[in-house]
Structure 1
Amino acid sequence: MLACYVVVVARAWSVPVAWGLGAIGVLYAVFLLAPPQLYTDALTYLDYARLGALHGLNPYAHFPAAVPTDPTYAFSSWHHLVSPYGPAFTLLTYPLAGLGVPAAYWTLRAVTVAASLGALALVWRAAERWGRPPLPAVLLVGLNPLVLVYGIGGGHNDAFVVLGLAAGAAALAAGRPARGAAALVVAGAVKLSALAALPFALLGAERRRRAVVGAAVAAGAVAAVWLGAFGLHGPELRAQ
């Protein structure tokens, strides 16, 4: 699979657009509908969501082991660890808690695919804005084996991180530094590691002051939501 990916990326400039986008669509559908893999992350996400939304326990202050009778508990992987995920993603998963576990699982998988496709659309837009051929950029991201197997097949929340990063890149490419920096901050509210891109965006922005203001406003909004929903408790950073 990796060898095929290398060949496609090397010849990306000669791949017809319809073939390239069609390949992404087919592979995304295959990995979405394939039987669940050994990864338990998607069910761990639901375990934390149900811990907060159904059982009334702060997932940043309580372990899943506090409710071992929950149907997701047997399939989750972190029983004695508070949630390592950011507040934006945690709140995003709360509505799934009211669904049955199978429905919640497949809904999360489908939303993950939608997030990944949205990221590819933003990569396309950013490449066009920067005067680069968009298809090679989209193939580089969309056909990456890690994206297909780990992201789509495993239902990992990294798709939402990439969506935020791609939104930031597209906004910066369009000359909107405040929006771009804000998008990167929101991506960091999914996983803190996404904030590694923020200094580069701030330093590279043509209108740096606007980028700093955008980042500050977004950080303030995230902090307000965080404190309102979870208090002073935060994610377990060592697991990110």
Structure 2
Amino acid sequence: MKLYHKWIYVLFSIFVAALLIYSYSLIDLNLTLFNDELWLLARDSLVRLGYFQRELSSYIYIAVVLVLFYFHWLFTKNYKVVSFWKVVIPLLFLGVSSYPLLSHDFFNYMFDAKILTFYHQNPYVMRPLDFPSDPWLRFMHWVHRTYPYGPVFLPITLIPSFLSFGKFVLAFYLFKATSTFFYLAGSLSLFKMNKKWAIFFATNPLVVIEGLVNGHNDMIAAGLALIGIYFLFQKKNLFSRTFFLLSGGIKYLTIPFLILSREKKHILNKIAFSLLVCLLLYLSITQEVQPWYFLGILPFIVFFEGLISKLSLFFAGLLLSYFPYIRFGEWDTPWKINLKHQIIIGFLVANAVYLLPKLKTKFFKR
């Protein structure tokens, strides 16, 4: 049995390493990172896969998502005998070292902080476009907008930005490390409360792809919310509300956490969850369905384990909705976006059908 466990960890680590390598297949064509000859050869091979062998790359991505869900199911099912650290350590390495292949936002985080730390200007007023001579603009998107996030996220990003001294590569990996730190903080907070919840969250494919690989700031918001939930159950209300407020100050989506109660069946918890769902629906209808927004749902595993643990089909649909992007390129035509929506809706309906026979049971329970 111990040998079996050992090989599972080895296979998982190998898979995570493969995912790390694959993440660089969509590295920006204007970005080299390093000038080492071996790295450039490897980068060129990965670029050929990501940009010029898109059909193969899309199949690899689908396989990655499926394998992630398999390991997630396996580790969560056997959480009693699974080593938390043997699972999390490879994921920490992935978080720090991977390339955000499905996110342009990550580079905006870096530049927004640079506006303040390097140019000593206000990112709420100045845009990346206002610094036309900056070499980082070559691989930037959304250069026309001012800072769109809450007042908490900017101070957090100033730390890696300041420590990088304006050096792109150093800033890149420090920003990745920052997001990974909050992943670890959130996972450890859950581990102190319930090992199963911790394994569920730490290995969740939505967390792995959107939080660790793509480095979205929703990961930071979720991590802060989980710390707040930990303090909530420690009856340290001031610390709890402070972390909930900090979480909501990242991009406002997690503001409903402020009303959570340590009494799991309290109506306020259902209201908080419902408010978050309403916010997600509003953003999805008025703007776009963005998979990373749904990271905010996962901390509710503490209150509604019966429901959150049964949303894997929907989460799979969110991740597989990147298929048009990987297979056909940028979101530059309506039919690609429509295909994305069809994938998400299809998996959402499938998840709803799966849940229908279980409606007689109480999902809103531990």
Whether TM-score is above 0.5 comes out as yes
Unaligned residue ranges in structure 1 (runs of 5+) = 128-133, 209-237
Q: Deviations 1:169-216 (Å, cap 9, x if unpaired)?
A: 01110011121111100111222111121123499799x9xxxxxxxx
> For structure 1, which segment, 196-205 or 49-58, has the greater mean C-alpha deviation from structure 2 after superposition?
196-205
Distance 1:92 1:49 in 2: 9
Task: Tell me by how many angstroms 1:41 deviates.
Answer: 2.0
8 Å contact from structure 2 (residues 127, 146) kept in 1: yes
Aligned equivalent of 1:4, options 65, 70, 80: 70
8 Å contact from structure 1 (residues 60, 82) kept in 2: yes
Give the partner amino acid of 1:91: P
Is residue 2:214 matched to residue 1:154? Answer: yes
Give the number of aligned pairs: 201
Unaligned residue ranges in structure 2 (runs of 5+) = 1-66, 269-286, 294-366
Q: Deviations 1:129-183 (Å, cap 9, x if unpaired)?
A: xxxxx22111111001111111111122222212210111011100111211111
Distance 1:202 1:3 in 2: 30
Aligned equivalent of 1:119, options 174, 186, 198: 186
Task: Tell me by how many angstroms 1:76 deviates.
Answer: 2.4
Give the partner amino acid of 1:109: K
> For structure 1, which segment, 82-91 or 138-147, has the greater mean C-alpha deviation from structure 2 after superposition?
82-91
Aligned equivalent of 2:141, options 77, 84, 88: 77
Give the partner amino acid of 1:193: L
8 Å contact from structure 2 (residues 126, 146) kept in 1: yes
Distance 2:241 2:257 in 1: 9
Distance 1:107 1:200 in 2: 32
Identity %: 20
Determine which structure has more spread, i.e. the larger CA radius of gyration: 2
Distance 2:102 2:139 in 1: 10
Aligned to 1:61: 125
Aligned to 2:199: 139
Aligned to 1:165: 225
Distance 1:203 1:10 in 2: 25
Task: Tell me by how many angstroms 1:69 deviates.
Answer: 2.0
Aligned to 2:96: 32
Give the partner amino acid of 1:107: L
User: Structure 1's 24 and 54: CA in aligned 2 closer, same or farther, altered over 3 A?
Assistant: same
- RMSD of aligned alpha carbons: 2.7
User: Structure 1's 51 and 124: CA in aligned 2 closer, same or farther, altered over 3 A?
Assistant: same
What does residue range 208-223 of structure 1 map to in structure 2 within 5 Å?
A: none
8 Å contact from structure 1 (residues 86, 189) kept in 2: yes
